[in-house]
Chains A and B, each alone.
Chain A
């Protein structure tokens, strides 16, 4: 099933120095259950691509469909609500609130979206902490766990409202390689066991092998040959 589709997406920024084309006619289909990596240098347009997918930024022309909903045809409020339910976001810096415990950090988005009753949200937050293997630290403040653990909490938080799609912008960018591997294991678990779709962007070419499919982005364009998903039986087998 195609969960996400970009059709002829263009994004141009106007600056004092003239127009800057960040995305050039991008077409992309992503199947549910893919772990898609978009690799490219800084400035290639990767973050802009993510901002188009989760509707954080407006596009200049084209369409983005997530489960057949046209993301950019919603009003700002509709989009915020839609995003809260459909998309989890993880960034390079972890953005946990320093004055809240780990479990409070995870219940927060649930309380904000009012998808769950308070007791449910607490139970659910605990389950998510278990999934990222940090349940014993539930009542600690972020300052007392390592950077890698903080990122796992941020991922748990991104999953709080049970979104189908997770978008991640350099989520391992500030982590050492061993810690980064733990994050990749977690992503694999989410894809192959929890049936999530993950789209991750990174400048680190050495990570290409970690994804179920990887695309290269250069000067605002996705490399043509790779546009069709390599989604096939191998994926299905791995998911079992």
Chain B
């Protein structure tokens, strides 16, 4: 990673040779008040690559606003590093340099639109260009107009903000955020104040920016928006949740996800390496972080691949929930596979505490068993056994905790 020295002249136009747009390393933020010390961010490590569209989700008080304030250089970390677009933004940079850096590298959009009421939409969009002195003076109105066109507001360019709808105000705020063509757009609940249709327009616009190579980090509460991003990062109690866990078991409560994050271990298997053998005791719940696994049934010398599971899928749940041995072989596919493993006892305990997740898992189990039944080359009575397993399994999975 190329890190620009704070003393070099290129600090404002820093270019990183790597793919990462944002890198947070060991980020800690503590606040002190009369009641004592409070740690809001507890050692965050995060890399966001260029061109990614990332959503950040977290309950109120989880630390997500503080996290954004670290990325935008608005607040200072207690410990750790923040590298954005190749610049270590807290290392030897004073406030006014950071402010200039921000103007060139970041576009920021907030829930409330912060358009200046006495300026027209066009003037509002020109403002950042004036402020960081980018683009020729005569070129600015034309560029602002192009941005307004892009967001569909060219007709209203000369109107004051109060005369357009709130959705249009937010579109103008987005045009303004893009005025200096920043590589990174940070949006804090950008659709929080808007109706569904306006929100959709804004997400479409974000998708367009991403297709043009921009990186977007968006804090949102809205699940219909997170599903449209490349990555959804969940923050809970000042810590990031393992993304494989949140994608594999999305119905889990954040506190359970966080608990799993702390308990999970990562393991890599080489191509064709056996992960589980039939009739072997299963001690883990497996989630696939990358690569593919094959579920194989062996009958004498013949083997049948009954399914292939990929990224964010899981296995081992049937065995754990019914408390038995592996019912098939599982092995790595033709590439190395990276797995996230959870100990059996923790998995079953949380399933008991989280009926919604248990239900969802058991639905997947049912589907797999049906697929397995159809493909199973063995005797019919084996299939009947499977059905009984399924029944047992379902009742185990949905039984409420005691």
Contacts and interface: CB of A to CB of B under 8 A. Distances in A.
Interface of A: 47, 51, 56-57, 76, 80, 83-84, 89, 91, 93-101, 108-109, 112, 139, 141, 143-144, 169
A108 B110 CA distance: 20
B162 A91 contact: yes
B116 A108 contact: yes
A139 B95 contact: yes
A143 B69 contact: yes
Interface of B: 69, 72, 74-75, 95, 99, 102-103, 106, 108, 110, 112-120, 127, 131, 158, 160, 162-163
Contacts of A141: 74
B113 A83 contact: no
Contacts of A57: 162-163
Contacts of B102: 99
A95 B113 contact: yes
A97 B74 CA distance: 13
The 4 closest A-B pairs by CB, nearest first: A93-B112, A89-B117, A56-B160, A95-B114
Given A84-B118, A97-B127, A99-B106, 6 more contacts: A89-B117, A91-B162, A93-B112, A99-B102, A99-B103, A144-B74
Given A57-B163, A91-B117, A95-B117, A76 B110 contact: no
B74 A143 contact: yes
Contacts of B115: 95
B54 to A, nearest CB: 20
Contacts, number: 56
Nearest to A93: B112
A91 B131 CA distance: 23
B19 to A, nearest CB: 26
Best-surrounded residue of A96, A97, A169 (most CB of chain B within 10 A):
A97
Nearest to A55: B160
B119 A56 contact: no
B118 A109 contact: yes
A76 B69 contact: no
B118 A98 contact: no
A93 B72 CA distance: 22
B162 A98 contact: no
B103 A56 contact: no
A76 B123 CA distance: 14
A94 to B, nearest CB: 7
B162 A96 contact: no
B116 A97 contact: yes
A99 B75 CA distance: 12
Given A98-B108, A99-B108, A56 B162 contact: yes
B140 to A, nearest CB: 13
29 contacts: A56-B160, A57-B162, A57-B163, A80-B118, A83-B118, A89-B118, A93-B112, A93-B113, A95-B113, A95-B114, A95-B115, A95-B116, A96-B114, A97-B127, A98-B74, A98-B110, A98-B114, A99-B72, A99-B99, A99-B103, A99-B106, A99-B108, A100-B131, A101-B99, A108-B116, A109-B116, A143-B69, A144-B75, A169-B162
Contacts of A169: 162
A97 B114 contact: yes
B118 A51 contact: no
A80 B116 CA distance: 13
A97 B131 CA distance: 12
Contacts of B162: 47, 51, 56-57, 91, 169
Nearest to B95: A139
A11 B102 CA distance: 43
A98 B162 CA distance: 19
Nearest to A88: B118
Nearest to B65: A143
A92 to B, nearest CB: 9
Contacts of B116: 95, 97, 108-109
